Structure 1
Amino acid sequence: MLKITFLILLYFFCTKCSGFESNCNCGWRNFGKIIGGEKSDDGEWPMMAALMSKPENVQFCGGTIISNHHVLTAGHCVHARYKKLPVSSFGVVFGINNLDEVKPSNIISPKKIIAHPNYVWPLSYDVAILVMKSIEFSHNIGPACLPLKKFNAVGKTLHHTGWGMVKAYGMGSRILKKTKLEGVDLDLCNSTFAQYEHLVKIREHHLCTYQPATSQCKGDSGGPILWDDPKTKRYYLVGLISFGWYSCDTPSVNVDVSYFVPWIYQILSTTGDDVCAFQEL
Structure 2
Amino acid sequence: MSPKKPSFFAILLREITFAACNPMFGKEIWASLLLLSLLAISTAEDRIYNGNKVPTDDLLNVVTLNFKSPEKTYKCTATVISKHHVLTAAHCFLNGTYVLKVQDRDNNQLAVDHWTIHSGYPGPAFDNDIAIITVEQPLKIPPVNLAANYAPNGGLLRVAGYGKTKYESKDGVMDYSDYAEDLMESYIQGHPKEKCTTKWPNVTGLSNVKGICVHHPNTGALPGDSGGPSFAKGKDGKYYQVAITSHGAVHLDAGGYYGIDTDVGSYCPWIEETTGGEAKCQTFEQDEVEID
Q: TM-score, normalised by structure 2?
A: 0.68
Q: Deviations over 1:152-180 (max 9, x none)?
A: 12222100001212245542322211001
Q: Verify: 1:261 aligned to 2:274, yes or no.
A: no
Q: Deviations over 1:98-124 (max 9, x none)?
A: xxxx4xxx3334211111121116742
- Alignment partners' CA distance in 2, 1:244 and 1:117: 22
For 1:16, the equivalent position in structure 2 comes to: none
What amino acid sits opposite 1:240 in the alignment?
I
For 1:228, the equivalent position in structure 2 comes to: 233
- Alignment partners' CA distance in 2, 1:143 and 1:219: 21
Q: How many residues align?
A: 223
For 2:80, the equivalent position in structure 1 comes to: 65
Overall identity of the aligned pairs, in %: 26
For 1:24, the equivalent position in structure 2 comes to: none
For 2:144, the equivalent position in structure 1 comes to: 144
Secondary structure of 1:49's counterpart equals: strand
- Alignment partners' CA distance in 1, 2:233 and 2:74: 26
Secondary structure of 1:265's counterpart equals: helix
- 8 A Cα contact 1:53 1:60, kept in partner: yes
- Alignment partners' CA distance in 2, 1:274 and 1:239: 15
**1:267 positional shift:** 1.7
- Alignment partners' CA distance in 2, 1:246 and 1:173: 23
**1:47 positional shift:** 1.6
- Alignment partners' CA distance in 2, 1:234 and 1:251: 26
- Aligned pairs for 1:75-90 (under 5 A) are 75-80=90-95, 89-90=99-100
- Alignment partners' CA distance in 2, 1:226 and 1:109: 26
- Aligned pairs for 1:114-125 (under 5 A) are 114-120=116-122, 123-125=126-128
- Alignment partners' CA distance in 2, 1:185 and 1:275: 23
- Alignment partners' CA distance in 1, 2:227 and 2:265: 15
Q: Verify: 1:244 aligned to 2:248, yes or no.
A: yes
**1:274 positional shift:** 5.4
- 8 A Cα contact 2:81 2:279, kept in partner: no
Root mean square deviation of aligned Cα: 2.7
- 8 A Cα contact 2:230 2:243, kept in partner: yes
**1:70 positional shift:** 0.5
**1:95 positional shift:** 2.3
For 1:27, the equivalent position in structure 2 comes to: none
**1:204 positional shift:** 4.5
For 1:126, the equivalent position in structure 2 comes to: 129
What amino acid sits opposite 2:103 in the alignment?
V
For 2:57, the equivalent position in structure 1 comes to: 43
For 1:15, the equivalent position in structure 2 comes to: none
Q: TM-score, normalised by structure 1?
A: 0.70
* CA pair 55-204 structure 1, distance change in 2 beyond 3 A: closer
**1:277 positional shift:** 3.4
Secondary structure of 2:224's counterpart equals: coil
Q: Deviations over 1:229-251 (max 9, x none)?
A: 1x221111100000112899421
* CA pair 274-75 structure 1, distance change in 2 beyond 3 A: closer
**1:261 positional shift:** 0.3
* CA pair 173-274 structure 1, distance change in 2 beyond 3 A: closer
- Alignment partners' CA distance in 1, 2:214 and 2:114: 30
- Alignment partners' CA distance in 2, 1:274 and 1:254: 20
Runs (5+) with no aligned partner, structure 2: 1-50, 168-173, 287-292
Question: Could you tell me which of 203, 206, 215 is aligned with 1:201?
Answer: 206
- 8 A Cα contact 2:265 2:281, kept in partner: no
